[in-house]
Structure 1
């Protein structure tokens, strides 16, 4: 997409950086840098023209209006659903609270009848809604146990109990909602918990506006955080590019100077290792001499000399005996295999004689 150098797309050179910043701000979701826009001026011009027709999320003006209309409809339907759902949950909470109170203390009969009637009405209405085929996507779906909404509606309490329940319901619901609102107010601002009821009502009337204000404040902080995050990403990319350039420059400098310095460095290392090797060898020789001096004292040397003389004389006598034995063996080998058999028999007789001598010696020793 690189364009010719002369094509600036009608941008003023002095305002080029400002235009690039505006384009990046108009399209924050695009992973672009100012360097990309400088290298592609036609693409920058296209984004500048598109900024008049789309917003930061990439939606056109007409589509944005349709989206806002759909969001308003969805918001109104959600509000209506939330209103009915909140009332239904409040009634369920009231029934649950009544059960807890009933378990711990005695409850007046009118109050007990009120909550039993309300619980039964809610249960019957829920069952009737489940059985109503108009609320399902499949019209031909079989009914549960063959029941119809009319069958379930017959289980409603008596009309008299229902009318009494309707009369008491607004006041009870108001008290329950007021209690929940006060609890919410105390959670939002714990220091307001000890205020009077009238002061709490006054503060509660302004709580929705305060919540909206806090929500806008949080959204503004999120937007600031997002802008800072985008700025940090751009600065990080710039920092990494600068660091990469510095590393490449340092590598080229090292490669250029390594060849001239390596020979001198190797020679110095060689001289150092040679001197260290000579020093280690001298140290080893000195240790060996010290060990010899500690081991071989003058007294031990004279003793070793006497031992050596004795061993040499014994060695000469053994050599003479060896020669005589070898000569006798050679003379015996001349006689052949017959003498070998006689020698074996003689050996066996000598062993038997020695064994009998040992047995006789032992026998005489024990008899004595």
Structure 2
């Protein structure tokens, strides 16, 4: 049985000629020769099975995966530390650059708000040198910053090997010629740390005044002490704000979930009410409608009877029995005359209809007849008037 297994393993892995070479290649650190493998076939089989679970260095597959994972984590930590270092360096440079720009901006603002007192004796005024050390310091620093910014803009890109064309033919060397004299630059560099420190201190004091307005009336020493603890307080407030923000997010998620649960329960209640309405109320709706109809009919009949009674009461208050009977007779006579007039109108309409059947020639004769009748009536009237005048 064991011989059959060995032959099956050999057939699966390849020919016997290169089996020993494959085993030796899989374990280069093992001091084994091809003769040893030939004399010990079971040991060769064991090495073949081990080669499926181990690499050339003797590590198992799981251990190798863990080591690769640890190496990846270590590389990631190194990259993260390098990134944080680069980020801190960039932030330090950016803070210094913005601080210098703010100093220049504050200088321009102060310069714009300074007003000279009016002088009545302008002709006897002694010339004054307006270039003060503070003004020269800020002008030198502004020029240096502008020159450095222009040089940086004019430098070709380091990301490509191709040289980019310069703007208006200017090169960094042309711009560097505008740098202030070395004496002024050295004087500016010596005074820069103190000026920058004062500027940053003023910014910190403004931040402290904004954060704690009550400290504006305190002494400089107490402000300095509070200023040394300001970063810790801001970190504490930032941590508190982040905690509150996280709590707000959690509350928002909880509120959303509760709203969804509430809406689900509300929908279930609505469905239950619909079921109650459809299953219970509709069964007695017919009886309710019939009772309501009977009630409305009775109420309508009562209103009609009340209207009749009010009409009779108004008639009794307005007319006497004799006038009511006279009005009734007049009404009957008028209705009879109206009936006769309607009958006469109907007969006339029938005659007109029969006349219209005769055509347009009869219409001309009827018009001529009407004209003659009108003339006869006029002559009769005139004759009667003449007879009345003679008599």
Give the TM-score normalised by the residue count of structure 1. Answer: 0.63
Candidates 61, 84, 92, aligned match of 2:93? 84
1:145 and 1:314, CA in 2 relative to 1: closer, same or farther beyond 3 A? closer
Q: What value does the CA root-mean-square deviation take over the aligned residues?
A: 4.2
CA distance in 1, matches of 2:79, 2:188: 39
CA distance in 1, matches of 2:84, 2:209: 28
1:346 aligns with 2:366: no
Offset of 1:303 from its aligned partner? Answer: 3.4
1:146-202 residue CA offsets vs partner (Å, 9 max, x unmatched): 111111000111111111111221221111111101001111222222222122222
Which has the higher Rg, Structure 1 or Structure 2?
2
1:245 and 1:289, CA in 2 relative to 1: closer, same or farther beyond 3 A? closer
Q: How does 1:1-368 map to 2 (within 5 A)?
A: 70-103=79-112, 104-105=114-115, 109-135=132-158, 137=160, 139-238=162-261, 257-258=279-280, 262-295=282-315, 297=319, 298-305=321-328, 307-308=330-331, 311=334, 343-344=369-370, 346-347=372-373, 349-350=375-376, 353=379
CA distance in 2, matches of 1:164, 1:105: 28
1:7-57 residue CA offsets vs partner (Å, 9 max, x unmatched): xxxxxxxxxxxxxxxxxxxxxxxxxxxxxxxxxxxxxxxxxxxxxxxxxxx
1:199 and 1:301, CA in 2 relative to 1: closer, same or farther beyond 3 A? same
1:234 and 1:346, CA in 2 relative to 1: closer, same or farther beyond 3 A? closer
Query: What residue ranges of structure 2 are gaps of 5+ in the alignment?
Result: 1-68, 117-129, 349-360
1:144 and 1:181, CA in 2 relative to 1: closer, same or farther beyond 3 A? same
Number of equivalences: 286
CA distance in 2, matches of 1:173, 1:204: 17
- Find the residue that maps to 1:193 and give its secondary structure: helix
1:300 and 1:132, CA in 2 relative to 1: closer, same or farther beyond 3 A? farther
CA distance in 1, matches of 2:217, 2:269: 64
1:303 and 1:215, CA in 2 relative to 1: closer, same or farther beyond 3 A? same
Offset of 1:266 from its aligned partner? Answer: 2.2
1:278 and 1:250, CA in 2 relative to 1: closer, same or farther beyond 3 A? closer
Offset of 1:226 from its aligned partner? Answer: 3.8
**Are the aligned partners of 1:129 and 1:135 in contact in 2 as well (CA < 8 Å)?**
no
CA distance in 1, matches of 2:271, 2:368: 98
Query: What residue ranges of structure 1 are gaps of 5+ in the alignment?
Result: 1-59, 326-335
Higher relative contact order (CA 8 A, sep 6+): 1
Of 243-252 and 86-95, more deviation after overlay is shown by: 243-252
1:294-338 residue CA offsets vs partner (Å, 9 max, x unmatched): 14633541331453476489779989x99xx9xxxxxxxxxx989
1:208 and 1:62, CA in 2 relative to 1: closer, same or farther beyond 3 A? farther
Of 294-303 and 141-150, more deviation after overlay is shown by: 294-303
Give the TM-score normalised by the residue count of structure 2. Answer: 0.59
- Find the residue that maps to 1:349 and give its secondary structure: helix
